[in-house]
């Protein structure tokens, strides 16, 4: 039974709920659901710890970030096992990306914060300078697709900026958050600086609406982002949202075709398509359209299926497979449920799928699916490609495949997306801004952008008296 972590203590309170193994559908564990008393206790613990934590010099908080990174690496295998059990993702991805990136997040923000200068402005007889103060208590709402990576991506800048936090992971993936709470205790992090509560949507709503919470950071669906924004509007709490996407990929005829196909396979099917940055809409220049479609479909058949996170999400993805057919799509490969002949047949798998032939205004091409699927359509001109890519309510990420350097720069700057990759995908420098436009979010994470959200500037102006001549 997983228990909450509040003020440095395990708290067994609230009714239990089951977490299922997405590979087999079997119950993995029971977890306590946070009720109003649990949420209130967690927020009060964070508030009690906030003043002393904020008063620490940045260098000391950065030191704690490095100790947390060391603690993650000491429990590396345990975290890998927990993440795989909750998500069903591949061992290689978990060992080489998810858990190492968690430790890297803490080290990166320790360095960014320690090296960040204050602003000062001089005029004759006047000195103005800024100091930054933490928000206070931050609610951290974490999704299920990359639970440990995204939790640490938020925690590291929030903590090093001087905030205390209450974390609520997804009800589907509580394991790595529970282990991280143990790591906080093992490295001696002051009680109340990090608190973890478990539960479903109502528990998260209790947290973000609590009057003791000063800011909210959330990664997840646009619908949930809207609900959170409404919930916090009365108190005008600052929010940082990384929301949904319907990401476009543009493939020009002058691309390195092998490289474009390889990259597209990754951008469509990584993590079973359950990454906000995955490509769901592909536009391919007409001279190479048929060949590209054939090669992508063939490669999709070689992809090892990864389970969807839950039975509910599998049904959602399958409903879009059915929708594609009803809207007149041509299914190039996939479109159903794989058969394994073993316990995986009770899991939450769907087939990697490639379709074509739909209108840009079809529901399939307008709505985020969040599964291992893409639609491929041809284009004839650069201008048409840009218009197609931008013709979405979302604007998180885009990929661009071309060997023409002028086109790469020209098109990348015209795409309405927070991130644009040219001849690559998912390559990140943690110092750069991360986030989307339109329905894909508010604000940016990464580097000093994260520190800007988790702290507020105060400008101090001093009139300097001039000495007598």
83 a catalytic residue: no
Tokens 């931008």, residue located:
390
> Which of 242, 280, 351, 445 is labelled catalytic?
242
* Contacts with 256 (C-beta within 8 Å, 6 or more apart), sequence order: 401, 403, 423
- Contact yes or no for 177/196 (Cβ under 8 A): yes
* Contacts with 118 (C-beta within 8 Å, 6 or more apart), sequence order: 129, 130, 131, 132
242 a catalytic residue: yes
> Which of 33, 83, 171, 276 is labelled catalytic?
276
Q: Which residues are catalytic?
A: 242, 276
């Amino acid at each position: 039974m997983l228990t909450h972590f509040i003020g440095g203590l395990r708290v067994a309170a609230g009714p239990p709920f089951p977490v299922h193994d997405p590979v087999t559908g079997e119950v993995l564990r029971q977890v306590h659901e946070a009720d109003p008393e649990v949420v209130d206790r967690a927020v009060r613990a964070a508030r009690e710890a906030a003043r002393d934590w904020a008063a620490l010099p940045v260098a000391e908080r950065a030191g704690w970030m490095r100790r947390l990174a060391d603690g993650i690496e000491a429990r590396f295998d345990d975290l890998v096992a927990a993440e795989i059990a909750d998500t069903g993702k591949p061992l290689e991805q978990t060992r080489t990306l998810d858990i190492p990136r968690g430790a890297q997040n803490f080290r990166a923000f320790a360095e960014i914060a320690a090296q960040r200068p204050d602003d000062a402005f001089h005029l004759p007889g006047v000195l103005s300078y800024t100091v930054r103060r933490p928000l206070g208590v931050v609610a951290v709402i974490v999704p299920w697709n990359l639970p440990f990576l995204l939790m640490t991506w938020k925690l590291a800048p929030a903590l090093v900026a001087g905030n205390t936090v209450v974390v609520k992971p997804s009800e589907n993936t509580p394991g790595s958050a529970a282990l991280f709470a143990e790591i906080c205790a093992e490295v001696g992090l002051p009680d109340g600086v990090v608190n973890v509560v478990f539960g479903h949507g109502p528990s998260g709503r209790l947290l973000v609406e609590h009057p003791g919470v000063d800011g909210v950071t959330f990664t997840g669906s646009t619908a949930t982002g809207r609900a959170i924004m409404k919930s916090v509007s009365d108190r005008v709490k600052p929010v940082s949202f990384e929301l949904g996407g319907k990401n476009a990929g543009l493939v020009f005829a002058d691309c390195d075709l092998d490289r474009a196909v390889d990259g597209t396979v990754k951008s469509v099917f990584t993590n079973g398509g359950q990454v906000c940055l995955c490509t769901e809409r592909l536009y391919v220049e007409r001279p190479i359209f048929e060949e590209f479609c054939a090669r992508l479909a063939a490669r999709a058949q070689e992809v090892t299926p990864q389970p969807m996170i839950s039975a509910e999400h599998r049904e959602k993805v399958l409903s879009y497979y059915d929708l594609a057919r009803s809207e007149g799509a041509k299914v190039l490969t996939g479109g159903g449920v794989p058969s394994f002949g073993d316990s995986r047949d009770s899991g939450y798998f769907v087939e990697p799928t490639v379709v074509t032939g739909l209108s840009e205004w079809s529901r399939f091409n307008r709505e985020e699916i969040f599964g291992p699927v893409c639609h491929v359509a041809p284009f004839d001109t650069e201008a048409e490609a840009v218009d197609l890519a931008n013709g979405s309510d979302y604007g998180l990420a885009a990929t661009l495949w071309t060997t023409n350097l002028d086109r790469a720069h020209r098109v990348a700057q015209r795409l309405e997306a927070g991130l644009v990759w040219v001849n690559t995908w998912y390559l990140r420098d943690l110092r750069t801004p991360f986030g989307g436009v339109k329905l894909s979010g508010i604000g940016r994470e990464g580097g000093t952008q994260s520190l800007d959200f988790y702290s507020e500037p105060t400008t101090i102006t001093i009139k300097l008296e001039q000495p007598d001549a």
